[in-house]
Amino acid sequence: MKRTAIKRRPLADTVLASLEPESKEYREAYGTDRLYFVVSPTGRKRWEVRYKRVSTGRWTWLGLGAYPDVPAKVARKSALAIAEQVAMGIDPLKERQQSRANATNGTMTPWRVTAEEWYKHKVGQGYANNTLRNMRRWLDNDALPILGKIPVSRVTRAECVRVQQRVEDRNALVFAEKARGWLRDIFRYAIAHDRCELNPASDLDVVAAKQKASIPFAHLLEKDLPAFLKALRNAPSGPVVRTAAWTVVRTASRPGMVRWMHWDEIDLKGAVWTISAEKMKSNRDHLMPLSRQTIEDLRAIKPFAGRSGYVFPGRDSSPVISHSAINNCFSLIGFDGRMTGHGSRHTAKTLLSEHGWPRDWSEMQLAHALPGLEGVYNRAQWFKQRVVMMQWYADYLDALEAGITDEQIKWFDAQVLLPGGQRFTDPSPE
């Protein structure tokens, strides 16, 4: 229809839809609130609002969007909002320009900025130090060199694949799986902060190098332990390394935790090793009962302690024994490829399970997280029970080394505690 045929305002939707273009662009007042309907010579239609600028006092126009994408009701609400801004002394044009600048700055933020914010957020959440070190190492060595300078909203899947391949080229496939999760998480962080809309790090597992089936650490079963224990007793390694090896065997601790054991963590009188949450994967303090045999060994090597305070000091400038020292000790006694420091955890778990010790106690001794909701709500450490269990274990190892009889095995089995703490009938050993 011709605009000369308009009979009433506000303009009805049928009028807005049927207004015909003219040789020149024209505006028709919608009705109130200084809202205008604009029709161009090409037939395109849009909304504009007229307002007086706060800074100059001059009248100007501000677009509110195309019609019919922006219906009349929405346009009128926008016009009312602009009138409120002007009444409050706010220039709606400057406000819009600033909002667009902020949006642009967010999407154009270098990936490095978002990654560093994400890392600080993880530090604040109390992740284990080892996990944080791995995150930092991956960022510095793998991710930042490729993605660091690229705007976070413009990172492509191909570039994410390059980051993944950088890790896979070192054949660090287990680490690559963790890194994929970190990369996805960084983009989720960016999406939450309105810096990008899509996560280009999703589905990277589809093109990831396939991991080989995991092979358990070399470990021994009970029938193989007598020969191993006799050989370990006479190991040619020095007293510090030999004691570290025995400590790993008797406590079923991770070799890395034993290597970095500090005298401040050891209560020789109370026979307990307290490992701080910062060192633990579980991110909580862990109490490790120490058997009588382990306490005797630790007392024997205390004179070797240096100024560093570490229980197992290394040579020259190294604060502790090397990561390969314990496995080398096993190799020197003829068990290369058959027994490892970490494998002693498998050995302990198997032996304790076969002799009937409660699963939860051995899992806690190994500092394993319990599955599902049990791991969330069950915070028991079963320390008193583990004191009994690990002394039993050390004594049983001694018996295996000396040559255990069937009657002695029955006696040891009778000492096993049930989950409730009660003991089997105690027959006398022969």
Which residues have a catalytic role annotated?
254, 281, 342, 345, 368, 377
Cis bond leading into 200, ω under 30°? no
> Are the C-beta atoms of residues 92 and 51 closer than 8 Å to each other?
yes
Q: Give 328-336 contacts, CB < 8 A, sequence gap 24+.
A: 328/237, 328/241, 329/232, 329/235, 329/237, 329/241, 329/242, 329/244, 329/245, 330/232, 330/245, 332/235, 332/236, 332/237, 333/228, 333/231, 333/232, 333/234, 333/235, 333/236, 334/231, 335/220, 335/228, 335/231
Look at the chain and count its residues.
430
- Residues 6+ away with beta carbon under 8 Å from 317: none
How far apart, in Å, do the first and last CA atoms of the chain sit? 114
Of 110, 171, 180, 167, residue with least CA distance to 141: 167
CA atoms within 13 A on the CB side of 19: 29
Of 328, 303, 347, residue with least CA distance to 242: 328
Of 343, 324, 368, residue with least CA distance to 216: 343
Distances (CA, A) of 266 to 85, 137, 245, 274, 290: 67, 31, 17, 7, 9
